[in-house]
Amino acid sequence: MNPKTYSAKRDELEPRWYIVDAQDMVLGRLISEVATILRGKHKPTFTPHLNCGDFVIVLNAAKIAVTRNRLDDKIYYRHSQYPGGLKQETLRQALQKHPERVIERAVKGMLPHNKLGDDMLHRLKVYAGAEHPHQAQKPVPWERPTAEKALAEMEAKRQREQAREQEPEQAAVEA
Q: CB of 39 within 8 A of CB of 78?
A: no
- Show the low-confidence residues of the chain (pLDDT under 70): 1, 169-175
What is the rounded (10 degree) CA torsion for 122, 123, 129, 133?
100
Check residue 151 and give its pLDDT: 84
Task: Give the pLDDT confidence score for residue 171 in this predicted structure.
Answer: 64
CATH T-level assignment (fold) for domain 11-142: Ribosomal Protein L13p; Chain: A; (3.90.1180)
pLDDT the model gives residue 173: 66
What residue spans define the domains of the chain?
A: 11-142, 145-175
Pairing assessment for the beta strands 124-126 and 55-59 based on DSSP bridges: parallel
